[in-house]
Structure 1
Amino acid sequence: MNSQNKRKSKKNSVRQIWFSVVFLVLGFIFAFSYKTLGINNQQDNYQPLAYLREEQYREELLRLQERNKELYEELDEKMREVMDIEHSFMHEEDRHTKLIEEAEQLRLLLGLVPAHGEGVKVTLKDADYDPLTQNPNDYIVHESHVLRVVNELKIAGAEGIAINGQRLTSNSSIKCTGPVITVDGKTFPEPFVIEAVGSQEVLQSSLQLRGGVLDSLEQDHIVVLVEEKEVILPALREG
């Protein structure tokens, strides 16, 4: 009797131990499963949030890129406008400069302003002669001689011309009266000094052409002296 009770008690204890082990294992399994499910749920919750943020960043990047493109296009357009304005100013400045140069050239030709620069000085003198045997008119400077020199200098591009200090214009009048000449109503005796502002090389070459002005003056017994020098011509004398 006692031995049977002891056996039963022992079986009950073993069963309780097995039940405890089973419950412990089941509890562990349940706990692990719950934790795993919780983590998966959290990951599932995190994934849509990360995706949404990524989409937002992508949309923002696209919007900024589009705005960048618009700003570059606007900048390019403004730069073209600035370049057009600059070109317009340059053309206007060139035109203004050209008008100023033309006005200055006109003033020089009209003798309204002094002229100075490199140029030439041409001196015409009467030649020596014997009044008893020779005709004086064949040895003195006449208006035609002066005009030949003046016209040649004009053709050669002289910027300004003066005779004995009297500035010439396009309408100047040169007349011979005996041994003197009259320039625009003012009388000057011999020698006649003709000064011109311009390229010395061009003016000198033009005067010394073979068969040109100097040769013809020498044939007319006129003494001619040509010098290269810095020339200062006064403005047109009034009265």
Structure 2
Amino acid sequence: MKKKSEIASLILVSVILGLILSIQFKTVNKSVGEGVLPTQRAQELAADLKKVKQERDAQINRITELESEIEKYEKNEIDKNSYAESLYKDTMKYRMLAGYVDLEGPGIILEINDPPSDLEFSNGYGVVDQLDLILQIVSILNAADAEAISINDQRYTSFTEIVRAGDHIEINGVSTSSPLVIKAIGNPNTLESALAIKRGIVWQLKSYNYMTLLTQDKEITIPKYRKVKEFKYSEPSEENS
């Protein structure tokens, strides 16, 4: 009798294991596609990603070529007309303010690395969890008359969004993570003093065990804002005469 109960138990366990394996198999099929191994699916996704990146780089190169051609046409017209020259200078000024021009000049570089994982009280937190500190740094640099700011080579403008996306931060729709390299063009001494002031933002970052490096640089390059902003709901307001 005892032997029969043991056999019945083994049969029951076998049936349960079979059901579990069947459910797992169906789940894998749904996630990666029927008849496709996970490694094969990963290779396909990697190939697709590479193709998309190549297409993106090709588009960026094409945009750069077209912008160079436009600049040549603009400069040719400038040489012929003083009024056109004045308009060109005004246009460049507003493009610089909007962030649609690559800029270079003196300024500062602030590099922020996550705390070492073996530090006590670190709790696995990183700069991704401290978006308020990043925004605070941007505000401080703006208050110190920074003329241009970038975060991991993403230009910061009035349209820039900085949001948490899983284990990463999205800046201008581009995923990035630690270390964060914040660059700012302006008076190097003023910018450095604003960040390194006693009990200021750099002190605060270090108190949270973030590893920071703040340096001045005479030749900082900040790329332009790449996204195209379209105005769907607003238009210039005409003043009543």
CA 1:203 to 1:128, structure 2 compared with 1: closer, same or farther past 3 Å? same
Residues 1:228 and 1:132: Cα distance change in structure 2 (over 3 Å): closer
| TM-score of the superposed pair, with normalisation by structure 1 | 0.53
1:218 aligns with 2:187: no
Alpha-carbon distance between aligned partners in 2 of 1:132 and 1:227, rounded to the nearest angstrom: 28
Match of 1:236 in 2: 225
Q: Secondary structure at the residue paired with 2:118?
A: coil
For 2:121 and 2:184, the matched residues in 1 are separated by 37
Name the residue aligned to 1:158: 146
Match of 1:149, SS state, is: helix
Contact 1:166–1:183 (8 Å) recurs in 2: yes
When the two structures are superposed, what TM-score results if normalisation uses the length of structure 2? 0.53
Question: How does 1:80-159 map onto structure 2 within 5 Å?
Answer: 104-130=92-118, 134-137=122-125, 139-141=126-128, 142-159=130-147
Structure 1 gaps of 5+ residues are 1-92
Write the deviation string for residues 156-212 of structure 1: whole angstroms up to 9, x where unpaired: 111111111111111211123344211021111211111111110110111111121
- Structure 2 CA distance for partners of 1:110 and 1:223, relative to 1, 3 Å: same
Q: Using a 3 Å threshold, how does the CA distance of structure 1 residues 148 and 127 change in structure 2: closer, same or farther?
A: same
The aligned runs of 1:1-239 (5 Å cut-off) are 104-130=92-118, 134-137=122-125, 139-141=126-128, 142-229=130-217, 230-238=219-227
Deviant stretches of 4+, over 6 Å: 99-102
- Check conservation: 2:105, 2:185, Cα contact below 8 A: yes
Task: Give the percent of matched residue pairs that are identical in Structure 1 and Structure 2.
Answer: 29
In structure 2, relative to structure 1, the CA distance for the partners of 1:221 and 1:237 (3 Å cut) is same
SS of structure 2 residue aligned to 1:136: coil
Distance 2:90 2:199 in 1: 34
Distance of 2:115 and 2:210 partners within structure 1: 6
Secondary structure, aligned partner of 1:135: coil
Matched positions, count: 143
RMSD of aligned alpha carbons: 2.6
| Residues 179, 190 of structure 1: 8 Å contact kept | no
Structure 2: which 5+ residue stretches go unaligned?
A: 1-81, 229-241
